[in-house]
Structure 1
Amino acid sequence: MIIKYFSLASIILLFMVGCGKKSGTKDSNVGTTSYLNLEEGSYNIVREKSELKWTGKELSSKTHTGILFLKEGRINIDSNGMIEGKIVIDMTSINVTDLQGEWKDKLEGHLKSPDFFGVEKFPTAFITFQSNKKPNKENKINLDGELTIKDMTHPLSFTADLLHTEPFLKVQAILSFDRSKYDVRFRSGKYFENLGDKLILDDIDIDIILASE
């Protein structure tokens, strides 16, 4: 075990996918700051125990939220406790959670269209990450990496929390990326003028929990 384990990567990202606990148990890290000793090895991300939630906002303060699902991922820990990993995000799984019925279907379809993420042509996105230092006493770790969307790659940096919830090590983080860098232009102030309150903010937040074993 990582203790046997490995919070964009948000964990990148980046993107999403329940993180349930065993019935009648509590997180072993709650109320404590005990240091996690990371065991050397290569570990699979458990899709069903991981989460990828996104938030997008308009200038009018309207907010939309949703989830994404992971296709796969791995985390590697070396003998010095340094971390590196990669997750693959299923962009065809874009799911809107703040709407229902017809409006939900319309927004999901639009987000999957070439106006936004063009998932038919670009069905996956990727987050890679690696640590430059070991976790601190609060089990926080700084990660540098890259986010790839629509075959375009840009650097990404974030701070993650390491959480031990038996039998998983979870990595939890909030990532933010600028969609305009990935040619997602719809109602972006970087590409269009005089949008008024129709402007959609370029920054998209992703709340990530990665569980590995």
Structure 2
Amino acid sequence: MKNLKSIALAFVVALSTLSVTAQTKKVDVSKSTINWVGKKVTGEHSGTVAIKSGALVFKKNALTGGTFTVDMTSLTATDLTGEYQGKLNGHLKADDFFGTDKFPTSTLVFKTIAAKGNDVYTVTADLTIKAITKPITFDIAVKGNTATTALKIDRTKYDIKYKSANFFEGLGDKTIYDDFELTVNLKV
């Protein structure tokens, strides 16, 4: 009987070491940034958009999950000032682009994560913009309380086709490229 109790205790101890609980780290939205760049034939525009909320999930210091909500109403150009900045910001928030009155937030939900080594992970996530959800894959580096990534997003997958050469002919130098770039720096 004593031997059976010892075996049972050893089994419980072994199971408890296997079940490591996840640690969720909330993103500090005041210290985290998302910078964007959109390019066209004749140049580019750049700016920022704010994170409304977010969290990264870890098990044994390894990244295992993440969810984010972006405040699309905060979308602003930083390469312009005054009247031109106001016009571009208004157009980006209009239905031609992100339609922020109807779609004030976008979301990103991590689905699969694979470690690449040196604190870098390949993430496949569901990105929702304008109520359209598509998978996206990118690498993210996590060091201490910071996570960084750079990714490209094809805007046309989210019904943002304004001046896309893939949908409109004869645009010439008025063409806006389909991909926009994001540089994300998260503090948790």
**Residue 110 (structure 1) shift:** 0.3
- Residue 37 of structure 2 is matched in structure 1 by 55
Question: TM-score w.r.t. structure 2 length?
Answer: 0.85
Work out the percentage of aligned pairs sharing the same amino acid: 35
Structure of greater relative contact order (alpha carbons < 8 Å, 6+ residues apart): 1
Q: Measure the CA separation in 2 of the matches of 1:47 and 1:75.
A: 13
**Residue 189 (structure 1) shift:** 1.1
Structure 1 or 2, whichever has the larger Rg, is: 2
Query: Does 2:162 match 1:181?
Result: no
**Residue 83 (structure 1) shift:** 1.7
- Residue 202 of structure 1 is matched in structure 2 by 178
Query: Does 2:124 match 1:160?
Result: no
Structure 1: 5+ residue runs without aligned partners? 1-38
Partner SS for 1:189: coil
CA deviations on 1:19-60 (whole Å, 9 max, x unpaired) are xxxxxxxxxxxxxxxxxxxx9411111001101000000022
Partner amino acid for 2:77?
A: V
Query: Does 2:142 match 1:140?
Result: no
Q: Measure the CA separation in 1 of the matches of 2:151 and 2:116.
A: 18
Q: Give 1 or 2: higher strand fraction.
A: 2
Q: CA RMSD in A?
A: 1.6
Partner amino acid for 1:170?
A: T
The count of aligned residue pairs is 168
Q: Measure the CA separation in 2 of the matches of 1:202 and 1:63.
A: 12
Question: TM-score w.r.t. structure 1 length?
Answer: 0.75
Partner SS for 1:47: coil
- Residue 14 of structure 2 is matched in structure 1 by none
Q: Contact 1:139–1:161 at 8 Å: present in 2 too?
A: yes
CA deviations on 1:72-126 (whole Å, 9 max, x unpaired) are 0111113482421110000000110000100000000000001111000000001
Which of structure 1's runs of 4+ aligned residues deviate more than 4 A?
none
**Residue 131 (structure 1) shift:** 4.7
Relative to structure 1, the CA distance from residue 69 to residue 80 in structure 2 (aligned partners, 3 Å threshold; closer, same or farther) is closer
Q: Measure the CA separation in 2 of the matches of 1:130 and 1:45.
A: 18
Q: Contact 2:111–2:126 at 8 Å: present in 1 too?
A: no
Partner amino acid for 1:74?
A: A
